[in-house]
Every structure is written in C-alpha cells, then in structure tokens.
Amino acid sequence: MNPSNPPVCALAQGKCKPCEGGVPPLSADAADKLLQQLPQWRREGQVIRREFTFRNYYETMAFVNATAWISHREDHHPDLEVGYNRCTVRYTTHAVDGLSENDFICAAKIDALFSL
C-alpha cells in the first residue's frame, strides 16, 4: 500500500447508479460532505479533480488503463489529462449537469487503485 494515501473509504464499496436527465445535481453542501471522504480531491464548481503523479510514462499509462477498466465497469467515465508522469482525473455527471454520488464513488475507487 502506498503510505502517502489514506485507507480506502467506504465510498469505494459503492456501485454507480444509472443517471438520467431531470434529476438535480448534488447541492454544494452535499458535495462538500462527500468530498471530506476524499481528502486529495478538490471541487471546482461542478467538477471534482485530482492529479496523480508517477515515476515514468509506463506507470502513468498503466494507471490510465486501470482507470479506464474501472470506468467501464461502473459505466461512469472521467475526463483524463495525461502527461509523461502525471494524470489529472476529473469527474462530473453530464446527465445531471453537475455532481452526483457516482462521481465520488468512482473517485474513491480510483484512490483505492492508486493505493495498491
């Protein structure tokens, strides 16, 4: 386990639920409460983000591919910005035009992946 990361939070045990339009996004207070469980993530309006750093390109791409696998299983996909030794992950729920619990569940799963 990577000692610089906290233990995996309970959100990582969740499962994303299908989102449809017409459902309101989380309120700022609700989003901030969930964000407390993900201390390395930041909320920027209706997006949560985290930058991960790696030793080299190979590790970066392995993380990107593992993130894609998790995203496919949850059917909830982040925006990724990839560089040589870094990857910025951004989650938002386009169907609700804001944040949903799915964003936080997936962020927690990515944190769990990174802590391996």
Query: Position 87: which residue type?
Result: C
Tens of pLDDT, residues 89-100: 999 999 899 999
Measured distance CA(41)–CA(93) in Å, rounded: 16
Going by C-alpha positions, the residue among 12, 99, 107, 116 that lies closest to residue 59 is 116
What are the structural domains of the chain?
A: 25-114 (3.30.1360.20)
Tens of pLDDT, residues 48-81: 999 999 999 999 999 999 999 999 999 999 999 9
Which pTM was predicted?
0.86
The pLDDT value recorded for residue 43 is 97
Measured distance CA(37)–CA(66) in Å, rounded: 22
